[in-house]
Structures are given as C-alpha cells and as structure tokens.
C-alpha cells in the first residue's frame, strides 16, 4: 500500500529495545515507507544534544505531518515518544501503541485517551499480524 509510517521508540529515554525496533521497522518496510527508520539503528547516539535539537524537532514534526499512521513501541518510557503521540493526535494521525504489559504500565495519559489504539503484547510474533491489520496488508 506504500503508506508513510512514523515509527516512534525511545532514543534518549533508553535504547534497551533498539533491536526490537529494528525488527519492527524491517517488517513494516516490506510494504510501507518508514519515515523514522533511524530509530532502529543500533549504533544511534542517544546522547547527542545541543544545536542539533532544534533540527531534530523540525525534522521529526515534519515527518509526523507527512505520516499516514504512527506506530509507537512504548515499553521503555520516553518523553519524546509521548510528545510525538500528542502531536500526532493534534493533527488527527491514527496512533497505535504497543507495549510489553509484563514489563511496564503505560501512563494513564495514554490509556485514558480513547484516541489511541493500545496493543499489549509479550513477543514480537504477536505484533506482526496486528501490523498487517493496521497497515491493511493481506496475509497470503
């Protein structure tokens, strides 16, 4: 279908799930464009700050406005991902939030907002069919 997908995952909040992000992004890229494929980069420097912050903000909000859908992995809490979700809601972009329910409790600001589609899971294999459904992909 070739949709623009904004994948959100923790960068400065912690990179423990970077390998998982990489797998999710690779799966989505089989059928759609991921605007934020760098989130899955295992060598991404999470501590890069300074003048670049404004450029990152401008780039990411531009991508959000181009996105057809936001897919967020929220097991590792991240202020930036929370901001991205609120930004997407403001612009009416559908948002799907995935999290490992045995490892974290999502903020009530997410679970209490009926705008967000919340998908608890434990294993990557549980996410893949949901992604196909969200992105309108048909299983062969």
- Secondary element (H or E) of residue 73: strand 69-73
**Cβ-contact 35, 6 below 8 angstroms:** yes
> Which two structure tokens, joined as six digits, stand for 42?
């295992």
pLDDT of residue 51: 60
CATH of domain 4-103+123-135: 3.40.50.450
Beta bridge partners of 120: 99
Q: Which of 78, 115, 80, 74 is nearest to 94 (CA)?
A: 115
Q: What is the pLDDT of residue 44?
A: 67
Q: Looking at the chain, how many residues does it have?
A: 140
pLDDT tens, position by position, for the chain (140 residues)? 689 999 999 988 888 889 999 999 999 999 999 999 888 766 766 555 556 889 989 999 999 999 999 999 999 999 999 999 999 999 999 999 999 999 999 999 999 999 999 999 999 999 999 999 999 986 54
Helix, strand, coil percentages in the chain from 3-state DSSP, rounded to 5: 40, 15, 40
The pLDDT, as a whole number, for residue 13 is: 84
Q: Is the pTM of this model over 0.85?
A: yes
């Amino acid at each position: 279908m070739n949709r623009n997908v904004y994948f959100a995952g923790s960068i400065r909040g912690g990179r423990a799930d970077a390998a998982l992000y990489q797998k999710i992004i690779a799966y989505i890229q089989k059928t759609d464009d991921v605007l934020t494929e760098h989130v899955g980069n295992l060598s991404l420097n999470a501590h890069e700050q300074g003048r670049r912050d404004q450029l990152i903000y401008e780039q990411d909000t531009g991508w959000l406005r181009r996105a057809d859908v936001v897919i967020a992995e929220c097991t590792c809490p991240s202020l930036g991902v929370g901001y991205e979700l609120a930004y997407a809601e403001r612009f009416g972009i559908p948002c799907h939030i995935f999290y490992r329910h045995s490892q974290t409790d999502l903020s009530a600001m997410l679970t209490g907002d009926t705008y967000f589609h919340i998908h608890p899971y434990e294993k990557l294999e549980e996410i893949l069919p949901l992604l196909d459904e969200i992105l309108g992909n048909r299983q062969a």
